[in-house]
Every structure is written in C-alpha cells, then in structure tokens.
Amino acid sequence: MKGGIRLFYSRLLRVKEIGSLSGLLIIIIIFSLLSGKFLTRENFIGIFTITSELGIIAIGVCFLMIAGEFDLSVGSVFAVAPMIGALLGKIGVPMVGAFFVSLFASAVIGYFNGLIVIKTGIPSFIVTLGAMMFYRGVLLAVSGGFTITFMGEDTAFLDALGGKIFMGMRASGIWFIAATIIFSIVLNNTKYGNHVFAVGGNPGTAKALGINVNRVKLINFVLCSVMAGLAGFTMFGRFHSIDPTAGSLHELEAIASAVIGGALLTGGYGSIVGAFIGAFLIGVMRSGLILAGAPSYWYQGFIGVVLVISVIINTKIRKAVAG
C-alpha cells in the first residue's frame, strides 16, 4: 500500500504543471470565499479575455526561456504590431495585409534581437531591455502619445482576432488555446522541440551532438516576437484602437507566467501548458483582488509573492524528482 502511494506521489511530481495547477486551484478557492461574484460565468469570461492576450505572449516567452534566453521587448512589440496595422489601415491597406506586414515587422524585431545576442555575446536580458525602451520610444514619438483608433469599415478581420464570438467569449481565447496545443505538440513531440530543450539545458553538449545552437535560438527569438505581435493584434481586435503604452509590464508578467508554470530561469526545462496555467493564474489574481475590494497596487505585490513561491516549489519538485 505504501509502495503504491509512493509510486503515485513520484509520478505526480513528474508532472511539470503540478505546482502551478495546485496554486491556481488554491487561489480560486480563496477568492471564491472572499467574493460571491467570483465564481460567475461573466467573471471567468472576463478573466479568460485578459489571460488570452497575456498568455499568447507567455507561450512565446516560455519557448524562448526553455532555449535559455529572455526577451524583454515583447511588451513593446505587443503595441508595435497593432500600431503598424492601425497606421496602414488608416491609409487604405486591407487589414489582412496590414496584419501580415505587422507580423513580419515583429519577426524582424525578434530576428535582430537574436542576431545581436548571438553575434556579440551580450546577454539577451540586456539586448532586449534596450530594444524594449527603443521601440516604446518610437511608439510614443509616432503617435505623439495619443491613442490611434481605426475607424475604417474593414473590421471583420479584426473581429475574427479579438471580437466576441459566443456567450461573451472572444476569439482571442480560441487563438490562445490553439497556440497552446500547437506549441505543446512542437515542444514535446518533435525533433525541434528536443533541440530546444537540449540547447537550453546544455548548449555545449547540444553543439557536440550536431545541433545548430545559434539557429535554434534565433528561430525562438523570432517566434517569441511574432507571438507578441499576434497578441497585440487580438487586443486591437477587441478595442479597434491602440494605446502607445499598451503592453507595459507584459514582458514581466509573461516571464512570471512561464516561471509559475514551471519554466526554469536557467533554461532547459518548462511547459507550454504550464505557461497557460500561469497566465490564467495571473488573470485570476487580478480579477479576484478587484472583486475582493483590494487596492489596485496590491496586484503587483501579489504577483511578486506568487512568483517567489512558485520558484521555491518548482525547485523543490525538481530536486525531489532528481532524488
């Protein structure tokens, strides 16, 4: 009997998402006790809407973190992509075309981030921190600090990205779920996914095995930036406007989502489903604190506490599995 319990416990610990899932359930129970409005359909639809936009970024960030790198520019790219789309739309470019041009621009940003990191050896944290500030400055200069609103009739495509589809749910939720499934399959069931884990775990060994380490990292930088651009467009589809300050702190929340979901800051370990749960947990905390009547500034403090606790739990789980 004891042997069976021990085996079950061991298998449970090997589930990468067990820490984040447990934390999510605990937080849901706490907020449901604090507010009778928490466990309602309307509230969870609102949570999932916010979570979807952050979560799409978190998936790309998690993929890059597993490869051993960071991208702090995703919050700025989140606003850059829809800003390009809005400006192109205002001069008559079809929104579908503006969307793909914007994603291409996002890919170029990611490519140059990765190229600078690879060619110079400067830590990605510093390179992308500089990129974050540069592109945010460009956004403010181009917009004059004002919100850009798309007033054209070509809104069907935007609605397909972030508009309401049924029962108040938005299309961004579908894109979030689809991205989670696709990236999970790529990471866990393909040769490229194995390469990503190998590169993040031990670049020297990966290189000795014939893996092109630089190419894997460069591809992941591009994917991360494109996902941020896609997330920005889902927000654009929700509001049909773009604020040049949109996405501020999303880079840190996305990293927090990945870490809460089990990703290691050192690379080589992580889960896309875990990032999904981590993003949802952050959305739950934001909504729960508001409904509980807590001051808005508590939100960042709670995220910091949950982040530290998550790192401790994930570290303990890793040691228990290894032992």
Averaged pLDDT for residues 155-162 = 80
What local confidence, expressed as pLDDT, does residue 14 receive?
58
Which of residues 314 and 63 earns the better pLDDT score?
Answer: 63
Percent of the chain with pLDDT over 70: 89
Give the whole-angstrom CA distance, residue 203 versus residue 213: 7
Which of residues 302 and 153 earns the better pLDDT score?
Answer: 302
Averaged pLDDT for residues 35-60 = 86
Give the whole-angstrom CA distance, residue 8 versus residue 311: 23
For 72-86, write each residue's pLDDT tens digit: 999 999 999 999 988
What local confidence, expressed as pLDDT, does residue 190 receive?
93
Closest CA to 109 of 94, 88, 130, 85: 130
Tell me what the pLDDT averaged over the chain comes to.
84
Percent of the chain with pLDDT over 90: 37
Q: Residue 167 above 80 pLDDT?
A: no
Give the single-character DSSP code of 148. E
Q: Which CATH architecture fits 19-318?
A: Orthogonal Bundle (1.10)
The pTM for the full model equals 0.89
What local confidence, expressed as pLDDT, does residue 15 receive?
58
Q: Which two tokens stand for residue 74?
A: 């995703």
Which of residues 154 and 174 earns the better pLDDT score?
Answer: 174
Helix axes 213-239, 191-201, angle to 10 degrees: 110
For 214-244, write each residue's pLDDT tens digit: 999 999 999 999 999 999 999 988 888 888 8
For 262-311, write each residue's pLDDT tens digit: 888 888 888 899 899 989 888 888 888 888 777 767 777 777 777 777 77
Which of residues 32 and 113 earns the better pLDDT score?
Answer: 113
**Residues in contact with 135: Cβ distance below 8 Å, sequence separation at least 6, in sequence order:** 73, 76, 77, 80, 109
Domain boundaries, the chain: 19-318
Phi, psi of 166 (to 5 degrees): -160, 145
Q: Could you tell me the pLDDT band of residue 8, with boundaries at 50, 70 and 90?
A: very low
Give the single-character DSSP code of 292. T
